Amino acid sequence: MKQWRTACPLNCYDVCGLTVTVNQNKIVKIEGDPSHPITRGKICGKGKLLKDRLNDSKRLLYPLKKVDEKFIRISWDQALDEISQRMLDVREKYGPTAILHSYDYASGGLLKGLDQRFFNFFGGMTEVIGSLCWGAGIQGQLYDFGDSLSHDVEDIKNANVILIWGRNITTTNIHLLPFILDAKKSGAKLIVIDPINTGIAKKADLHIKIQPGMDGLLALVISKIIIDNGWHDMDFINKYSIGFDELRKEIGKLDIEKISEEINVEQKLIYDLAYMYAKQKPVMTFLGLGMQRYANGGNSIRAIDALIALSGNVGISGGGVQYANLAVGRSFNWKELLRVDLRKEYRTFKRPSQADEIINAQNPPIKIVFVTRSNPITQLPNQEKTITSFEKIETKIVIDMFMTDTARLADYILPTTSVFEEEDIYYGSMFHNVIRYGPKIVEPRGEAWSDLKIWTELAERLGLNGFKKNSEEYFEIALKPLDKYGIDFKTLKENGQLRLPVPSIPWQDKKFSTPSQKFEFYSERAKKEGLPPTAVISYPKESLQVNPDLNGKYPYNLLSIHPSKSLHSQHHLLVRKEDSKPWIIISKTIATEHKINNGDLVQVFNERGFIIGYAKVEQKMNEKTIVIEEGWWRDSDASVNILTSNQLSDMGNGSILYDCAVMINTLPRK
Ligand SMILES: Nc1nc2c(c(=O)[nH]1)N[C@H]1C(S)=C(S)[C@@H](COP(=O)(O)OP(=O)(O)OC[C@H]3O[C@@H](n4cnc5c(=O)[nH]c(N)nc54)[C@H](O)[C@@H]3O)O[C@H]1N2
Ligand SMILES: Nc1nc2c(c(=O)[nH]1)N[C@H]1C(S)=C(S)[C@@H](COP(=O)(O)OP(=O)(O)OC[C@H]3O[C@@H](n4cnc5c(=O)[nH]c(N)nc54)[C@H](O)[C@@H]3O)O[C@H]1N2
Ligand code: SF4
Ligand SMILES: [Mo]
């Protein structure tokens, strides 16, 4: 028996420290590593299932090629010879941008990002930009602060009030919970703003069941009450911000009574929130990502940032707005790792709307797609369109471990290793600043190769001189900028983990990274990019206010939230029985209106399609909301992205996955 320290690679806030026990080249146990300062020895079921994922009988172990609609096993030589020849032909005839690199961030491993390096050495590609995940909010924070940074988790103990604004902590960010509960025990108040009755809402002193997509309006009306009462922080506003008067003008237009009704928050509660933000400081606000997956999502984040700034909660211990922590990922030397300078031709498609862009692409059309670190058929919005677009591409190459909905469409499937079969450095940019080294612990199963080995072997065949380095060389390059803090690969490997030197209380010196170096209630950059320069009054695209006709037919808002037992689509095969269906959670009002009982088979639909699941009636949630977990594969009849729209959010090329009007009815039981 031997024990190893490593990290969970799943695309999750927490990036837990793991201890892995091995017996005769077989992993027998995965536990939390108590030495991790944030995750402290606890892990979730998804982390424990990494063992089963590695050993699963359905794991892809050999390169596959589709011949006459069937997959046959081929050798790595044949796969790489054929793929590299096809790449050369396409580059010769159409240029490198006829190849689409469609990827996401399924693994927190540093070396996983080198797929981009490969395509840069190749001379370019068409690449997806923007984000299904957090794009609109990131861009909003860039306008306001010039960056997106979070406080050290430990600073939560200095908060007087903790406000969880649309983050499903007990499912998506479980290691934040003990910090919140400790602070609560010491007297901090806990408020949750979320349309649904999440685990953290159940623990809160106050749960506000807001109408989805209306958070920006809530923030603006809270700000109005603060300003009307003269509670705003004039010292911060005068010395460290610009554009307050312009924002105040917009806020002046608000009719509190009307908005209170539209957003489903009583005026008394809006007043209480205003008092709390201004008079019970410091207030520490945690934003989730769900609330910005709307057509007005970036604007919502900007309105919340403005509220936190004008109430004097920015740059103070126990305060701040925690959305992302971009400083973590930026610590590495990506410039030298990726070598963007080598690209000769380059084109971008927006990640959420890539299906439209593939369908419409000319000069050149897309001839080859490489899918890595993602499962776009299941996870991209407007699934039918995604399928149509992929079917149009002559050569589809998917690198994965399982026969996903995307892999099924492929012409070549290249089997990749799982976390414990390769070495890497693991980090995340959503929460804490701890990075971990993960050694290779067991030999890869079958003929699975690490992503890096796949890119390296392909690069050899394509004659991409200079691409090849070994892992250690890459780690050394990556960590070079941290030399001055005494962080290098040797120390990381010896210690197993290190904390990156990122600010523990961002903006404490009130010097912002915006062009004006101030907090920008008014952003000239936003204006130049065709957007309103301040946060404004704005509604979701499929809302009653913007599209009453659509809303008449489809009066409910569908929230396709992240699954509790799976990381998106990744654990589908492991945790869901064949033929099983998800719960579709509906409010009591919807249940009564449509005579739906607990356990009824129901269909949720809109013009894009329908999905099927079992109804679960919930008393304490927003009454016009329906909730389902995303990530179910197509064989379940419940792959929710059949229903979602692939339009873009207001900024940052973000998705509008939750801006989704639907209707529901019951189905006869099979
Ligand atoms: N178990 C598990 N954990 C995960 C993941 C996973 O798939 N499974 N995925 C990881 C990834 S990639 C991400 S991006 C994060 C996401 O982490 P979160 O942001 O916590 O998760 P989401 O499911 O996107 O949505 C969070 C909450 O937003 C609420 N919400 C939706 N719309 C609105 C709104 O308009 N206003 C307000 N106030 N609330 C709203 C939902 O009801 C839900 O409770 O989770 C990470 N962690
Ligand atoms: N309706 C709806 N849709 C959503 C969301 C939502 O809330 N609602 N959330 C969105 C969000 S926040 C995100 S981040 C995206 C996530 O979108 P994806 O990243 O596409 O989702 P995953 O299901 O995690 O799929 C990752 C795939 O990569 C594979 N994989 C894992 N590790 C590796 C590796 O090391 N190398 C390679 N080559 N492959 C690997 C896995 O086996 C899996 O098939 O989904 C988005 N889609
Ligand atoms: S999925 Fe998240 S919480 Fe679970 S073990 Fe991995 S990093 Fe930790
Ligand atoms: Mo995400």
- Closest ligand 1 atom to Cα of 568: 7
Q: Average pLDDT of 309-325? A: 98
For the chain, give me the number of helices (H) and strands (E)?
27, 27
* DSSP type of residue 351: G
Protein residue with least CA distance to atom 47, ligand 1: 172
Q: How far apart are CA 78 and CA 525, in angstroms?
A: 50
641 lines ligand 2 (CB under 6 A): yes
CB 268 within 8 A of CB 514: no
Which pLDDT score, from 0 to 100, does residue 501 have? 95
Q: Specify the range with the lowest mean pLDDT, choosing from 21-25, 404-408, 439-443, 473-477.
A: 21-25
Nearest Cα to 352, choosing from 387, 392, 381?
Answer: 381
- For 368, the token pair is 């080859």
Ligand nearest to the CA of 288: 1
The Å distance, Cα 329 to ligand 1 centre, comes to 21
- If one residue of 401, 406, 430, 642 were mutated to test the ligand 2 pocket, choosing by the most ligand atoms within 8 A of its CB, it would be 401
Protein residue with least CA distance to atom 45, ligand 2: 379
Sketch out the chain's domains with CATH numbers: 64-132+350-499 (3.40.50.740), 136-323 (3.40.228.10), 550-666 (2.40.40.20)
Residues in CB range of 261: below 8 A, 6 or more apart: none
Which helix (H) or strand (E) segment holds residue 461: the answer is: helix 451-462
Residue pLDDT, tens place only, 584-601: 999 999 999 999 999 999
Q: Taking the C-alpha atoms of 586, 10, 141 and 124 in order, what is their torsion angle to the nearest 10 degrees? A: -120
Q: How far apart are CA 619 and CA 429, in angstroms?
A: 35
Q: How far apart are CA 657 and CA 641, in angstroms?
A: 8
Residue pLDDT, tens place only, 453-470: 999 999 999 999 999 999
Which pLDDT score, from 0 to 100, does residue 174 have? 98
Residue in the block written with tokens 């946060």: 535
Residues in CB range of 196: below 8 A, 6 or more apart: 209, 559, 561, 585, 618, 621, 622, 625, 627
pLDDT over 80 at 430, yes or no: yes
Q: Average pLDDT of 388-411? A: 98
Which pLDDT score, from 0 to 100, does residue 116 have? 98
- Closest ligand 2 atom to Cα of 561: 7
- If one residue of 16, 209, 289, 657 were mutated to test the ligand 1 pocket, choosing by the most ligand atoms within 8 A of its CB, it would be 289
Q: How far apart are CA 340 and CA 314, in angstroms?
A: 35
296 lines ligand 2 (CB under 6 A): no
Q: Average pLDDT of 409-417? A: 98
Q: How far apart are CA 533 and CA 87, in angstroms?
A: 44
Ligand nearest to the CA of 39: 3
569 lines ligand 2 (CB under 6 A): yes
Alpha helices in 76-213 (DSSP H): 76-94, 114-122, 135-144, 169-172, 177-185, 199-203
Tell me what the pLDDT averaged over the chain comes to.
97
Q: Average pLDDT of 623-635? A: 97
Amino acid letter at 64? Answer: L
Nearest Cα to 145, choosing from 329, 322, 332?
Answer: 322
Which pLDDT score, from 0 to 100, does residue 669 have? 62
302 lines ligand 2 (CB under 6 A): no
Residue pLDDT, tens place only, 271-285: 999 999 999 999 999
- If one residue of 568, 604, 658 were mutated to test the ligand 2 pocket, choosing by the most ligand atoms within 8 A of its CB, it would be 568
Nearest Cα to 404, choosing from 633, 630, 579, 571?
Answer: 633
pLDDT tier for residue 668 given thresholds of 50, 70 and 90: confident
User: What's the whole-model pTM score?
Assistant: 0.98
Ligand nearest to the CA of 47: 3
Residue pLDDT, tens place only, 177-234: 999 999 999 999 999 999 999 999 999 999 999 999 999 999 999 999 999 999 999 9
Residue 95, Ramachandran bin (φ over 0: left; ψ between -120 and 50: alpha; else beta): left
Q: Average pLDDT of 326-343? A: 97
Q: How far apart are CA 48 and CA 31, in angstroms?
A: 7
CB 350 within 8 A of CB 646: no
174 lines ligand 2 (CB under 6 A): no
Nearest Cα to 461, choosing from 76, 137, 172?
Answer: 76
CB 479 within 8 A of CB 489: yes
Q: Average pLDDT of 14-37? A: 96
Nearest Cα to 370, choosing from 337, 336, 393, 404?
Answer: 393
The Å distance, Cα 27 to ligand 1 centre, comes to 31
- If one residue of 46, 419, 569 were mutated to test the ligand 3 pocket, choosing by the most ligand atoms within 8 A of its CB, it would be 46
- If one residue of 56, 104, 110, 561 were mutated to test the ligand 2 pocket, choosing by the most ligand atoms within 8 A of its CB, it would be 104
Residue pLDDT, tens place only, 238-278: 999 999 999 999 999 999 999 999 999 999 999 999 999 99
Nearest Cα to 49, choosing from 438, 582, 408, 419?
Answer: 419
The Å distance, Cα 383 to ligand 2 centre, comes to 14
Pocket, ligand 1, Cβ cutoff 6 A = 11-13, 133, 165-168, 171-172, 193-196, 198, 210, 212-213, 215, 288-291, 559, 561-564, 567-568, 658
Residue pLDDT, tens place only, 505-517: 999 999 999 999 9
Q: Average pLDDT of 293-318? A: 98
